[in-house]
Structure formats: C-alpha cells, structure tokens
C-alpha cells in the first residue's frame, strides 16, 4: 500500500462523514422520529440507507465493467485505440479470460450485493466458453441458489448450468437443470419453451428418442410461432428421418396438468 493510499480516508471515514452530513440535513425529521422509534430502529434505518447506496455503487461499477468487456475482438490487426479508450481484444479467448479475471474480482469486492449476484451470469458464460465447466456449473449454481424465485434471469442461469453439465457428459444433471429452466420460464418471455426443447435434446442423446419426440410434438403444438416451436419442428424432422414415429401432441389439458 502506498503512502498516498495510507493517508487517504478509508471507507469507514467516508461513510462516517456522509452519515454526519445526512443527519445534519435531516435533523428536524430525525428529532421527530426519535420520539417514536427506539435506537435500534433508527440504526436499522441507517443501515438500510447505506446498504442501498452500496447497491447503487456496485451496480454502476458492474455496468462499467460489462461495457468495457463488450469492446470488439480484432484478430491479426494492431489497432491504435482512440484517446481514453481501451484497445480491442486480440481474440475471443482474451476477452473471456479478461471477463473471468475482472468479474471474479468484482464479485469478491462486492460480495452480498445484487450486482455481484447478477455478475455470476456473464462470469459463468465466460467460464463455459473457456472450457472451465466445473467452474461454470458452480457459478450458475450460486445464482440459482441465491436469486429470488421471481428473477427473470433464472432461465438463463439454469440454461447455462445445463449446458455446462452437458459439456461434461453429465446428461442426468443437464436434464434436471433444463427441467428447472422450464419451471422458471414465465409467460410471454423470449425463452419460453426452450427448457422443454433442451430436455428433448438430452433425452434423444440418452437414447430415449420416443420420449424426446413426445416433448417436441407437445412443444410444436403449444409454441409453434416461437423460437422453441420452430426448433422443435426441425428436431422432429431429424428424429423422423432416423425412423422415430412422430406422435400426436398431448391434449392441452393434460399438458397443463403435467406442468403443474
């Protein structure tokens, strides 16, 4: 640590000064509240206030980090970046390695914040692309464990986890991840039906082609105009070419009962 860093105010000093300023500006309100609140309640309110400030700062830093990591990849050409800009990545591998390094540090520095939890998704994706499948499974697993069940990003986390299991040859675990993905899907979202499509893929890879065909037929019937429905149609054609009988879709009422 440098002499300049040692002389700089630490986080406790900065937050202390900010707290004093906050209290001075709101002294009349605080005086009124103090009449009806116990000391513990006021402390809890202050903790919540500064917690929100920490969340805002972490979210801002995550946005800046992701923006930096999204700069282009230019291979075989040495480009001079504009003033104040970072140079492009030399390869996809360099981008992914940088992503893993920076987001791992970010999540450590901001542990416990929503931003750190959200950063698990691009981190897991980069780990997967680098072939670090165990790390990817663990990272996506942290998100699925800690994120609210209402999070719209759960589908992406379960999908990433399923892909990583699949790459490791762990088809049973991949199937389970894709089942959880289906449960996390919400009506009208872009990825609706993709969990079911992935389940069919895995079942076919396990040799359970009749089961796969049934899932695909159901998906084609229920999501015919969506991306998952179109993919199901293509996959059904492949199975049919392999001699698998394409079944009739399960009646809608039965599908709804099974999904519940």
DSSP labels, 163-175: HHHHHTT-HHHHH
Q: What pLDDT band is residue 187 in, cutting at 50, 70 and 90?
A: low
The listed range with the strongest mean pLDDT (8-17, 36-45, 243-252) is: 243-252
Q: Which CATH superfamily is domain 89-184 in?
A: Tetratricopeptide repeat domain (1.25.40.10)
Res. 174: pLDDT tops 80:
yes
pLDDT tens readout for residues 53-90: 778 888 888 888 888 888 888 887 776 766 767 888 89
Task: Specify the pLDDT at position 51.
Answer: 58
Task: Specify the pLDDT at position 1.
Answer: 42
Q: Which residue has the higher pLDDT, 29 or 218?
A: 218
Backbone φ and ψ of 89, nearest 5°: -70, 150
Res. 142: pLDDT tops 80:
yes
Q: Please state the rounded mean pLDDT for residues 159-174.
A: 97
The tally of CA atoms less than 13 A away on the side-chain side of residue 186 is 8
pLDDT tens readout for residues 202-227: 999 999 999 999 999 999 999 888 88
pLDDT tens readout for residues 189-198: 678 899 999 9
Tokens of 178: 């894709």
Res. 111: pLDDT tops 90:
yes
Res. 42: pLDDT tops 50:
no
Helix spans in 110-192 (H): 114-118, 120-129, 133-146, 154-167, 171-184
Res. 231: pLDDT tops 90:
yes
Res. 140: pLDDT tops 90:
yes
Domain edges within the chain: 12-65, 89-184, 202-260
Q: What pLDDT band is residue 4 in, cutting at 50, 70 and 90?
A: very low
């Amino acid at each position: 640590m440098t002499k300049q860093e040692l002389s700089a105010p630490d986080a406790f000093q900065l937050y202390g000064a900010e707290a004093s300023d906050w209290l001075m500006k709101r002294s009349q309100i605080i005086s009124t509240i103090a009449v009806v609140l116990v000391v513990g309640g006021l402390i809890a309110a202050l903790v919540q206030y500064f917690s929100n400030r920490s969340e805002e700062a972490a979210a801002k830093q995550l946005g800046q980090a992701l923006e930096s990591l999204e700069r282009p990849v230019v291979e075989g050409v040495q480009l001079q970046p504009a003033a104040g800009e970072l140079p492009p990545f030399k390869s996809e591998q360099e981008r992914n390695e940088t992503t893993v390094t920076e987001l791992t540090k970010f999540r450590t520095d901001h542990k416990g914040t929503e931003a750190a939890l959200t950063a698990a998704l691009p981190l897991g994706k980069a780990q997967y692309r680098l072939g670090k499948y165990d790390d990817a499974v663990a990272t996506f697993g942290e998100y699925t464990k800690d994120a609210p069940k209402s999070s719209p990003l759960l589908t992406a986390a379960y999908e990433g986890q399923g892909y990583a299991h699949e790459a490791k040859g762990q088809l049973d675990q991949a199937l389970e991840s894709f089942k959880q993905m289906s449960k996390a899907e919400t009506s009208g979202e872009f990825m609706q039906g993709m969990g079911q499509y992935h389940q069919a893929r895995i079942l076919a890879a396990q040799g359970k082609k009749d089961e796969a065909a049934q899932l695909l037929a159901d998906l084609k019937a229920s999501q015919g105009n969506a991306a998952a429905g179109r993919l199901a149609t293509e996959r059904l054609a492949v199975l049919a070419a392999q001699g698998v009988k394409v079944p009739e879709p399960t009646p809608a009422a039965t599908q709804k009962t099974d999904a519940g």
